[in-house]
Structure 1
Amino acid sequence: MTALIGRTRARAVETLSLDATGTRNALSAALVGELAAALADCAEDHEIRAVVLTHTGTTFSAGADLRDPPHPDALVGLLRQIVQLPKPVIARVTGHVRAGGLGLLAACDIAAASASATFAFTEVRIGVAPAVISLTVLPRADPRALARHYLTGERFDAAEAVRTGLLTTYADDVDDALAPVLDGLRRSSPQALAETKRLLTARVLETFDRDAADLTALSARLFSSAQAREGMTAFLERRDAAWVV
Structure 2
Amino acid sequence: MAGHSTARGTGAGPADPGGPAVTSAHERGITTLTLDSPANRNALSARLVRELADALSRCAQDPAVRAVVLTHAGTTFSAGADLKNPANPYTFVALMRQLVELPKPVVARVSGHVRAGGIGLVGACDMAVADRGSDFAFTEVRIGVAPAMISMPLLPRIDPRAASRYYLTGERFDAAAAQAAGLLTAVGDDVDEALAPLVDGLRRASPRGLAEAKKLLTAEVLEHFDRHAEDLVQRSASYFTTAEAREGIAAFMERRDPAWVR
TM-score relative to the length of structure 2:
0.93
TM-superposition CA deviations, 1:158-209 (whole Å, max 9, x none): 0000010110110001111111111111111000100000000000000000
1:111 counterpart residue number: 128
User: Displacement, 1:2?
Assistant: 1.8
2:236 counterpart residue number: 219
Distance 2:196 2:102 in 1: 22
Measure how far apart 1:142 and its partner are.
0.4
1:59 maps to amino acid: T
Question: In the TM superposition, what whole-angstrom CA distance separates every residue of 1:49-94 from its partner, at most 9, and x where no partner exists?
Answer: 0000000000000010010111110110000000000000000000
Partner of 1:136: 153
C-alpha distance in structure 2 between counterparts of 1:92 and 1:127, whole Å: 29
Aligned pairs for 1:48-87 (under 5 A) are 48-87=65-104
Q: Which has the higher contact order (CA 8 A, sep 6+)?
A: 1
CA RMSD of aligned residues (A): 0.6
| 2:28 corresponding residue in structure 1 | 11
Q: Shift in Å at residue 41 of structure 1?
A: 0.6
Matched with 1:156 is: 173
| Misfit runs of 4+, over 4 Å | none
Per-residue Cα deviation, 1:78-114 (whole angstroms, up to 9, x for no partner): 0000000000000000000000000000000010000
Structure 1: distance between partners of 2:58 and 2:241: 34
Question: What TM-score, normalized to structure 1?
Answer: 0.99
1:242 matched to which residue of 2? Answer: 259
Please say if 1:29 is aligned against 2:28. Answer: no
Q: Please state which structure has a larger fraction of its residues in helix.
A: 1
Unaligned runs of 5+ in 1: none
Counterparts of 1:141 and 1:135, CA distance in 2: 11
Q: In structure 1, how many angstroms separate the alpha carbons of the residues matched to 2:23 and 2:241? A: 33
Instruction: Look up the equivalent residue of 2:211 and give its one-letter code.
Output: A
1:46 equivalenced with 2:45 (yes/no):
no
Identity %: 63
Rounded Cα–Cα distance in structure 1 between residues aligned with 2:126 and 2:243: 37
Q: How far off its partner does 1:21 sit?
A: 0.6
Structure 2: segments with no counterpart, 5+ residues: 1-17
